[in-house]
Amino acid sequence: MDPKFTVFIFVDLAPREVFEAVVDPEQLSSYFTTGGAKGRLEEGATVTWDFHDFPGAFPVEVDEVVENERIVIRWDASEGDKPAGYQTNVIFTFTPVDGGERTKVEVEEHGWRDSEAGHKASYGNCMGWSQMLCALKAWIEYGINLRQGAYK
């Protein structure tokens, strides 16, 4: 069975504002990519994300962008502290709720190998995406960076 998960959170802003906080590298660097993001998430682009907790710039390939609705990316899977030699797929979905005044943000990731190492890696990324969503909400609603100093 292909390890896969979906996590979500509700953000008290319209989808266009939440979507922009994910695609814009300056905003993403303010709450998630602690080492910085380079490049806007646009269909066909390859951008880089850097994290203090996992040093090194990670290439992120953008497969699909539907403005204010959906983003599909691919990036290299890691198993433990080494590259796994394959990619996983990440899907962000932005669904308007409460008349469009709020947004349900979902992150799904799949594509790991069905192995002990693949399962363990998926659990780690599930934790990471859950943290990303909490950090997104704290940043965009309250201006608080939850990840600042958390991994140094």
Whether pLDDT at 152 is above 80: no
CA 110 to chain centre: 13
Whether pLDDT at 75 is above 80: yes
Q: Cα–Cα distances in Å, from 122 out to 18, 22, 65, 89, 136?
A: 25, 21, 24, 11, 21
Q: Residue 132: which pLDDT band, with cuts at 50, 70 and 90?
A: very high
Task: Give the pLDDT confidence score for residue 89 in this predicted structure.
Answer: 98
Q: Residue 82: which pLDDT band, with cuts at 50, 70 and 90?
A: confident
pTM equals: 0.95
**Percent of the chain topping pLDDT 70:** 98
Q: What is the pLDDT of residues 116-131, one digit of tens each?
A: 999 999 999 999 999 9
Task: Give the pLDDT confidence score for residue 137 in this predicted structure.
Answer: 98
Inter-residue contact 84 to 71 (CB < 8 Å): no
Whether pLDDT at 79 is above 90: no
Q: What is the pLDDT of residues 9-68, one digit of tens each?
A: 999 999 999 999 999 999 999 999 988 999 999 999 999 999 887 777 899 999 999 999
Domain at 4-142: CATH code: 3.30.530.20
CA distance 116 to 78: 13
